[in-house]
């Protein structure tokens, strides 16, 4: 049977009220009463967000004459329509005031949306093709459209590149995987191995050094393409789009991204962008790391997937124990690719790795939870982090990245440098990823499959390694593994400040304890995460600098009065300070 397309119309209707108006036409609805749903979460961000709460009005009209019929909300994210012989037209309004990579946002300056925030799915129509009419806003005719969603080229009313008009997707899964930006952004483009890439910048921009940014991004993209397709240099995203799009929202101080099959949505603080005439620093390397991370997902999670994500369960939590592979390995490779591409030096790479190691080793939660469990529990764990998370959880991004690093070194060592983690990634790519959107027979990595895949790719038995470090809570043997690469891992105190064994966070009101590490001196003294620092040793503390200066007036082992506000109550604790905290260092051994 020829499947008739679902027809959506999106109009950014009210910039001051932040409303999109949507129309959905279902040519042949379920005659007994169509159910409509909006995803409860967005793939890549593992938390129930119930986007349907932003639909503020929904009406259904039956037949060619459009007689209004009843609708009823039947769950947090579903509506039941009264019976209708079709066609069925749904009109609804979506509130769009979430400036994040996960939601929708619209005002007089721009409009941005993810499909999961705006496109209702008629249940049972998951495999129907979709047409999307994108309309301009009422207040300006200057805006253009930026998205990897393909223009409906064979149809009347097809959008021209960057224009309003008709776009299309082969099914609902594709429809919600191409975010859309409308407005007047700055746009630059480049080719990586002949494939087109666009970088779109929205927001108030500094004097961006585009030449540098394009050169670095191109290098990173090409290094990744060469990893997965060393011979053909074929890019992955042409199965779903004619180009890759980086949609970048520039703000005062944000950092984050969300991966899609042929694009990514990024948020970045202005200070991280390279500015003409200035040598960029760590923040810029972090931004390149973000670009590298989301681009790597084009292979690893958007095409090579956990089998349980094929297809995604969009209306409830979709659990997997494999995020140490899909987020952890992606976090390992995002940095490795900065170095391999030449975007950062070896020395900078080792410095950045040492920082990750310090960070992971600081969290006592790593001895209580495995990365496999952290992955499975992320919906209520990592994605609902609180002040105690470092004591209770392990982060499958950071420890997962170190597992990628350790496994890579282990495979190189055990195979006498014949094989590496690259071979594992390439096997997963050819087996599962390459044909995923081209009618693949194999639909993703089974939960227990990694040891088999590693053995097949490298002939190394990594099952005991995975049992111990992925399903167990042991610390990775990084110092030993680094020796084989002539790199020395050691710990030393980087400054003389005595430690309170806490993590602090500055905000407009001053400095608060973000985390009190279990077993540390602040914990023993009775301090708590969330306590707001007032004074140490009688000296006022209101930011990181005054905190460190106050600590410098104390000696380790000395008992110091620490005053904090807990809620509105002033409390005093006596803290016996610890010696300065140590940090990991990675040094190349001359040989």
Which residues here bind Zn ion, judged by CB under 5 A? 327
Instruction: Report, in Å, the least distance between residue 382 CB and Zn ion.
Output: 12
* 20 burial via Cβ count (<10 Å: 0-12, 13-18, 19+): buried
Q: Distance between CA atoms of 147 and 153, rounded to whole angstroms?
A: 15
Residue corresponding to tokens 């990694």: 450
Nearer to Zn ion, 327 or 501 (CB): 327
Instruction: Report, in Å, the least distance between residue 137 CB and Zn ion.
Output: 32
Instruction: Report, in Å, the least distance between residue 404 CB and Zn ion.
Output: 13
Nearer to Zn ion, 151 or 327 (CB): 327
Nearer to Zn ion, 327 or 422 (CB): 327
Instruction: Report, in Å, the least distance between residue 297 CB and Zn ion.
Output: 6
Nearer to Zn ion, 327 or 373 (CB): 327
Q: Distance between CA atoms of 550 and 565, rounded to whole angstroms?
A: 17
Instruction: Report, in Å, the least distance between residue 114 CB and Zn ion.
Output: 16
Nearer to Zn ion, 399 or 532 (CB): 399
Residue 147 vs residues 23, 108, 165, 189: alpha-carbon distances, Å: 20, 19, 13, 13
Instruction: Report, in Å, the least distance between residue 327 CB and Zn ion.
Output: 5
Instruction: Report, in Å, the least distance between residue 248 CB and Zn ion.
Output: 16
Instruction: Report, in Å, the least distance between residue 293 CB and Zn ion.
Output: 6
CB-CB contact of 437 with 238 (8 Å): no
Nearer to Zn ion, 374 or 499 (CB): 374
Q: Distance between CA atoms of 572 and 64, rounded to whole angstroms?
A: 73
Instruction: Report, in Å, the least distance between residue 138 CB and Zn ion.
Output: 37
Instruction: Report, in Å, the least distance between residue 325 CB and Zn ion.
Output: 11
Nearer to Zn ion, 327 or 423 (CB): 327
Sign, CA dihedral 428-326-445-296, equals negative
Please report how many Cα atoms fall inside a 13 Å half-sphere around the Cα of residue 217, on the Cβ side.
Answer: 25
Q: Of how many residues is the chain composed?
A: 591
Q: Largest Cα–Cα distance of the chain, in whole Å?
A: 83
Closest CA to 57 of 32, 82, 24, 94: 94
Nearer to Zn ion, 12 or 381 (CB): 381
Q: Distance between CA atoms of 304 and 443, rounded to whole angstroms?
A: 9
Residues 6+ apart with CB under 8 A from 569: none
Nearer to Zn ion, 39 or 328 (CB): 328
Task: Kindly write down the DSSP assignment for every residue of 482-520, as one continuous string.
Answer: HHTTTEEEEEEESS---B-SEEEEEETTEEEEEEE-TTS
- Rounded to 5 degrees, what are φ and ψ at 560? -115, 140
Q: Distance between CA atoms of 166 and 152, rounded to whole angstroms?
A: 6
Q: Which residue is nearest to Zn ion (CB)?
A: 327
Q: How many CB atoms lie within 10 A of CB 526?
A: 15
Nearer to Zn ion, 259 or 422 (CB): 259
Nearer to Zn ion, 168 or 334 (CB): 334
Instruction: Report, in Å, the least distance between residue 330 CB and Zn ion.
Output: 5
* 330 burial via Cβ count (<10 Å: 0-12, 13-18, 19+): buried
CB-CB contact of 563 with 542 (8 Å): no
Q: Is the peptide bond before 64 cis (omega within 30 degrees of 0)?
A: no
């Amino acid at each position: 049977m020829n499947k008739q397309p679902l027809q959506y119309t999106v109009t950014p209707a009210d910039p001051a009220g932040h409303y999109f108006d949507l129309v959905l036409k279902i040519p042949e609805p379920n005659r007994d009463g169509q159910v409509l749903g909006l995803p409860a979460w967005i793939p890549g961000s593992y938390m129930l967000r119930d986007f349907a709460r932003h639909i503020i009005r929904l009406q259904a009209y039956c037949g060619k004459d459009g007689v209004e019929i009843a609708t009823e909300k039947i769950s947090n994210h579903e509506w039941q329509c009264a019976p209708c012989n079709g066609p069925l037209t749904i009109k609804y309004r979506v509130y769009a005031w979430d400036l994040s990579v996960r939601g929708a946002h619209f005002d007089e300056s721009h409009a941005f949306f993810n499909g999961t925030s705006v496109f209702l799915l008629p249940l049972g129509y998951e495999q129907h093709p979709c047409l999307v009419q994108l309309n301009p806003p009422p207040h300006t005719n200057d805006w253009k459209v930026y998205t990897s969603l393909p223009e409906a080229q064979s149809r009347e009313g097809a959008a021209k590149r960057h224009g309003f008009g008709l776009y299309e997707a082969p099914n609902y899964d594709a429809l919600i995987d191409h975010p859309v930006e409308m407005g007047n952004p700055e746009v630059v483009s480049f080719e990586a191995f002949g494939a087109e890439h666009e970088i779109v910048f929205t927001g108030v921009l500094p004097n961006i050094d585009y030449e540098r940014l394009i050169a670095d991004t191109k290098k990173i993209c090409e290094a990744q393409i060469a990893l997965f397709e060393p011979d053909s240099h074929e890019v992955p995203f042409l199965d779903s789009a004619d180009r890759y799009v980086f949609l970048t929202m520039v703000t005062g101080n944000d950092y984050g991204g969300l991966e899609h099959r042929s694009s990514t949505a990024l948020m970045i603080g202005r200070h991280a962008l390279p500015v003409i005439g200035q040598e960029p620093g760590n923040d810029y390397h972090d931004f390149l790391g973000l670009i590298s991370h989301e681009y790597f997902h084009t292979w690893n999670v958007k095409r090579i997937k956990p089998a349980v994500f094929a297809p995604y369960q969009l209306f409830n939590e979709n659990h997997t124990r494999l995020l140490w592979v899909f987020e952890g390995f992606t976090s390992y490779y995002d940095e490795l690719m900065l170095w391999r591409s030449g975007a950062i030096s070896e020395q900078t790479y080792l410095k950045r790795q040492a920082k990750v190691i310090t960070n992971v080793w600081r969290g006592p939660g790593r001895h209580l939870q495995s990365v496999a469990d952290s992955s499975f529990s992320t919906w209520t764990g990592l994605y609902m982090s609180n002040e105690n998370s470092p004591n209770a959880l392990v982060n499958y991004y950071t420890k997962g990245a170190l597992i990628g690093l350790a496994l890579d070194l282990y495979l190189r060592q055990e195979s006498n440098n014949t094989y590496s983690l690259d071979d594992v990634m390439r096997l997963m790519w050819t087996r599962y990823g390459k044909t995923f959107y081209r009618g693949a027979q194999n639909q993703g990595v089974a939960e227990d499959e990694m040891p088999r895949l590693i053995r097949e790719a490298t002939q190394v038995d990594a099952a005991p390694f995975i049992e111990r470090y992925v399903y167990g809570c042991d610390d990775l043997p990084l110092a030993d593994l680094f020796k084989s690469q002539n790199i020395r891992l050691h710990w030393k105190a980087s400054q003389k400040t005595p430690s309170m064994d806490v993590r602090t966070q500055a905000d407009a009101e001053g400095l608060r304890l973000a985390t009190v590490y279990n077993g540390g001196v602040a914990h023993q003294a009775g301090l708590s995460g969330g306590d707001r620092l007032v004074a140490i040793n009688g000296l006022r503390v209101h930011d990181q600098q005054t905190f460190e200066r106050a600590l410098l007036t104390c000696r380790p082992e000395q008992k110091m009065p620490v005053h904090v506000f807990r809620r509105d109550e002033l409390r005093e604790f006596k803290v016996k300070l610890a010696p300065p905290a140590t940090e990991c260092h990675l040094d190349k051994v001359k040989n």
